[in-house]
Structure 1
Amino acid sequence: MNGFELKFKARLKKISEELNDIENFLRDNGIDIPNQNIPLKPDEKIRIPRRYIRTVHYFEQKYKLYDLLEDEVLVKNISYALQASDLFNYILNRFNIRLSVGKVFYKFAIINIFSIIESLLYGIANKCHSYCMVNNRVCKNNDSCNFYLKKANKYPFEKLLYTLSQKGLIRMPPELQNKLLKIKALRDNIHLWDVKNKDYFNDDYNLDNYNFLIKLLNILKKDLNKALENFEHNRNNNCNKR
């Protein structure tokens, strides 16, 4: 282990001890945390380190979101969710969150990343669909056109993956698609009243599934723009829109 890594871990240990001491200090002085707390102004609270959470502009440029999507609101919402993923990343890499609350925290981190992937894919489908509109009506050649995509909300997620794969807009082997669909089932447990099992017994809310989504998102970041560019080039050269 490098010397700087040892120093880094030693400093983290001191910070952890200090955070515990602060909370014990409050308890010793009669503060019933977390039911009670000392009111703090924004500049009196602990700050997330500068530059750990990247800017909206960074994500817009890094993912080329305005090239991928034509909906500015969606671009901004994806960028905000990517910022939230930086916060999840910071907490997961700096804090030891145990027991049931650790699984629930992984659940929220997984939901956030999955939602970003889902939004990118549905956003691309909508962009491709809008090209096929003529005077607010779908092109008459849609049934026979290999480049036609329906409006995004017409596709269940599994069908969307299949359609985008068939049209070359994503390159995702079946095993990756199958794993993504399994994780979608985890994401769909967002409604607590409708969850059949106790979340803290679900071992699928874990680092492996979280890391899988992060890696898949990085693959899409590299592939989506080129794939969409090729699709649009072929479509524009073979389109008989009317």
Structure 2
Amino acid sequence: MEKENKKRYVENNRIISELLIENEKILKDEGYNPPVINFAVDGDERVKIPAGYVRTTNDFCVDYHLSELIIENSTKKNISYALQLSDYYNFIVNRFYVWGSIETMMYKQMFINVISIIEALILECINRVDDGCCKCKQAGKCENKINKYARENMKQAAERLYQLDILSIPDDKFERLIELYDYRNKIHIRLNEQNEYLDDKFNLQLYNESIEMLKLVDATLYERAIPFYGVCMGFVKKEGKAN
């Protein structure tokens, strides 16, 4: 960013911060005690995120090939909403000074959201790939048949798609995908023995890595999974390469 523009940007942030402080003083002068006892004006009278920052559901359908990868409109919408939430989180951490345990917990929630999107894409794809097997009379004897557990469990689904060369990503990326998924599954406040504030794995670097993993998985499934939709997996070679 050019020096003068950065100077204006930082000065605007200072002004916005002062106005927010003034608004809180107005509330306290009126007898409110935010956040315990709060006050809010109507939605369109509140502070607004600039139009266009949070992308539309249609934008995400195009960017992440949702119309091609997914049949159910409700699933497409739910994934798009989760991606919109990711944009919203992105705005908060890039425009506001978030620190300490709140920053850690924010990145944690951002990470959970992205991994949940990856999980939805993988499970959707493996079930659509399996549609062809369901029509085959030899499905029970086929080594390439996708079993029930793979259709319902993200880790097993990813491993099966990887074996079939449908989730065609480098070995190290696949291993990292499973690690990221395990991170997500081990997140339980009551069962976590480590102080989450001191658990530094939830940070900007991990979030950015999860976003890159989402893009990689989505691009690979778009290229490799769709050709197998409705195709009997008996026509796929044992080593996982398509005939």
TM-score, normalising length: structure 1? 0.84
Q: Distance in 2 between matches of 1:180 and 1:221?
A: 13
Gaps spanning 5+ residues in structure 1: where? none
Indicate if the aligned counterparts of 2:67 and 2:76 stay in contact, CA closer than 8 A: yes
Indicate if the aligned counterparts of 2:69 and 2:222 stay in contact, CA closer than 8 A: yes
1:186 aligned onto 2:201: no
Q: Structure 1 residues 234 and 163, CA, compared in 2 at 3 Å: closer, same or farther? A: same
Partner in structure 2 of residue 149 of structure 1: 146
SS at match of 1:129: helix
The structural deviation recorded for 1:95 is 1.3
Q: Structure 1 residues 237 and 178, CA, compared in 2 at 3 Å: closer, same or farther? A: closer
Q: Structure 1 residues 153 and 232, CA, compared in 2 at 3 Å: closer, same or farther? A: closer
Question: Counterparts of 1:36-51 in structure 2 under 5 Å?
Answer: 36-51=37-52
For 1:121-162, what per-residue CA distance to the aligned partner results, in whole angstroms no more than 9, with x for missing partners?
A: 11101111122213xxx642354354x323465554333222
Q: Which amino acid aligns with 2:142?
A: S
Aligned residues: 235
Partner in structure 2 of residue 119 of structure 1: 120
Q: Distance in 1 between matches of 2:14 and 2:122?
A: 41
Q: Distance in 2 between matches of 1:172 and 1:227?
A: 11
Q: Distance in 2 between matches of 1:35 and 1:198?
A: 26
Partner in structure 2 of residue 173 of structure 1: 170
Is the deviation greater in 179-188 or in 40-49? 179-188
The structural deviation recorded for 1:77 is 1.0
Q: Which amino acid aligns with 1:11?
A: N
Indicate if the aligned counterparts of 1:168 and 1:231 stay in contact, CA closer than 8 A: no
Q: Which amino acid aligns with 2:122?
A: L
> What's the % identity of the aligned pairs?
29
Q: Structure 1 residues 227 and 88, CA, compared in 2 at 3 Å: closer, same or farther? A: same
1:217 aligned onto 2:214: yes
For 1:180-217, what per-residue CA distance to the aligned partner results, in whole angstroms no more than 9, with x for missing partners?
A: 33332332244433333332221111111100011112
Partner in structure 2 of residue 164 of structure 1: 161
Indicate if the aligned counterparts of 1:55 and 1:83 stay in contact, CA closer than 8 A: yes
Q: Structure 1 residues 129 and 233, CA, compared in 2 at 3 Å: closer, same or farther? A: closer
Q: Distance in 2 between matches of 1:25 and 1:72?
A: 45
| Superposition CA RMSD, Å | 2.6
Partner in structure 1 of residue 60 of structure 2: 59
The structural deviation recorded for 1:4 is 2.6
Partner in structure 1 of residue 97 of structure 2: 96
SS at match of 2:193: coil
Q: Which amino acid aligns with 2:214?
A: L
Q: Distance in 1 between matches of 2:34 and 2:40?
A: 12
For 1:38-85, what per-residue CA distance to the aligned partner results, in whole angstroms no more than 9, with x for missing partners?
A: 241112211222111111122112222121122332212111111111
TM-score, normalising length: structure 2? 0.84
Partner in structure 2 of residue 8 of structure 1: 9
Partner in structure 2 of residue 81 of structure 1: 82
Q: Structure 1 residues 212 and 57, CA, compared in 2 at 3 Å: closer, same or farther? A: same
The structural deviation recorded for 1:230 is 4.2
Partner in structure 2 of residue 205 of structure 1: 202
Q: Distance in 1 between matches of 2:220 and 2:146?
A: 19
For 1:68-112, what per-residue CA distance to the aligned partner results, in whole angstroms no more than 9, with x for missing partners?
A: 122332212111111111111111111121111111111111110
Gaps spanning 5+ residues in structure 2: where? 237-243
Indicate if the aligned counterparts of 2:53 and 2:87 stay in contact, CA closer than 8 A: yes
